[in-house]
Amino acid sequence: MAAGAPLPPADQPARLVEHFFRHEAGRLHGALIRLLGVENMSLAEDMAQEALLRALRTWSMGRVPPNPSAWITQVAMNLARDALRHRRMSTAKEPSIITHHEQMLGTPAVAWEAVHGIRDDALRLMFVCCHPAIAPDAQVVLALKVLCGFSTGEIARAFLSSEAAIEKQLTRTKQRIADAGIGFDLPEGEDLSLRLDGVLGALYLLFNEGYKASSGDRLLREELCQEAIRLTTLLLEHPAGRAPRSHALLALMLLTAARFPSRLDENGVLLRLNDQDRSKWDQSLIERGLLQLGAAAQGRELSEYHLQAGIAAIHCTAADYASTDWAGILRHYDGLNRLKPSPIVALNRAVAVANLHGPEAGLLAISAIPQREKLESHYLLHAVLGELHWRMKDHRAAAENFRRALQLAQVGPEQLYLTRMLGQAEEVAS
């Protein structure tokens, strides 16, 4: 269980099961895959899912056990043992299931963990999913699915893709693992370090989903952000993960999380950066983030996480919105656009251009975005266009863009904000 992640009340079984799914799925999958073998990855996922479904059914009848984590683990291991018997797999693995089950309930750590130094099942499995024989984007998709409990829809929205395409990619990746005979034993030294980029990519997207949920009533899913911060901190404790870009990613997470308390108003409506009460920002997280950014500056490495953390640091250290160093932010986005160009990066760069040179310049920057069509189904494009037209006092165009953004937005606080802005634009335009 992630530190700092309080359990939902026992009288809310659906939320309790969701909580365990987010925090225990990676550990369960790691244990099950290690026992069942890499060729049975889908079976391990099924066993974990079935254990969680049984928890929902049982707990909904008011029978929440004193130790829910141990309960889910026991059910999953029993299901795996039954599956092994049913499939007539090697009976030698059955004692391993029993032994591992006992270890998870409190016996000393296995020697395997002592040898490799990574004590967390989820983090170990992240390194496994990020095998260099798997394409980088497929590594992240697999890690998000197997480790972080993301649905296919959540992954599709994170990659601006379709569910069908993501499902097909997952199927191909698992087949690739089986065909290549990729094992689940961790390598050591440099071979382990080669997998770091995939691990960082998965952690980054995990934090992003918590920072801005892709759907639902909550904009913030702080438990996902806490888990991403926990895993990244754990990663930095291992020699394979102790790299400048890992420090930079943790800096980005901490500096972003510091602003969480002011992202919504008392009615749950999204607040723009210039409307936020900066006195609510968590100064301890800002200090920790700046320390990590300092650690990231060691050496000559410059990653996308360095640049994004630099942008977050500029925001966090500005006394107010008016004194924000937009020229510095634009330089960071220019660097990011050179290092890892994407329509989303270009859109964020256009916002910086607008804040530095005015809304007309921002609109010109948006019109010049390569592959802009990929953003047409993304609410943020139309929300930004609405904001820029609003600032230009073209309220009719602003209303049109806010209306389109509202049609595409899938998160409650964003919908409330866009509804408010649409109403104001329509009122002035009429």
- Residue 397 shares a structural domain with residue 367: no
Range of the domain at 139: 132-152+168-175+196-212+221-237+245-250
Domain assignment of residue 357, yes or no: yes
The number of domains in the chain is 4
Gap between the Cα atoms of 383 and 106, Å rounded: 51
**Rounded mean pLDDT, 384-403:** 97
pLDDT at 216 over 60: no
* pTM across the whole model: 0.77
Backbone angles phi, psi at 90, to 5 degrees: -55, 125
Distance from C-alpha of 2 to C-alpha of 228, rounded to nearest angstrom: 10
What one-letter code names the amino acid at 124? R
pLDDT at residue 258, rounded to an integer:
96
CA distance 285 to 296: 16
Q: Are residues 145 and 229 in the same domain?
A: yes
Residue 123 lies in a domain: no
366 and 381 both lie in a single domain: no
351/408 same-domain check: no
* Residue 391 within any structural domain of the chain: yes
pLDDT above 90 coverage of the chain, percent: 41
H helix or E strand, kind and range, residue 44: helix 41-59
Mean of the per-residue pLDDT values of the chain: 83
Structural domain includes residue 259: no
Residue 63 has pLDDT above 70, yes or no: yes
Backbone angles phi, psi at 264, to 5 degrees: -125, 150
299 found inside a domain: no
Kindly state whether residues 429 and 358 are assigned to the same domain. Answer: no
Judgement on whether residues 425 and 346 belong to the same structural domain of the protein: no
Q: Are residues 371 and 401 in the same domain?
A: no
Residues 166, 224 contacting (CB under 8 angstroms) = no
Tell me which residue of 405, 407, 341 sits closest to 379, measured CA to CA.
405
Region of poorest pLDDT, from 98-112, 177-191, 213-227: 98-112
- Residue 425 in any domain: the answer is yes
In a domain, 182, yes or no: no
Cβ-contact 198, 129 below 8 angstroms: yes
Least confident of 225-229, 257-261, 328-332, 352-356: 225-229
- Count of C-beta atoms within a 10 Å radius of residue 186: 18
SS (H, E, C) 169-235: HHHHHHHHHHHHCCCCCCCCCHHHHCCHHHHHHHHHHHHHHHHCCCCECCCCCHHHHHHHHHHHHHH
Task: List Cα–Cα distances, 55 to 7, 60, 93, 151, 400, in angstroms.
Answer: 15, 8, 25, 19, 46
Determine contact, residues 369/378, Cβ cutoff 8 Å.
no
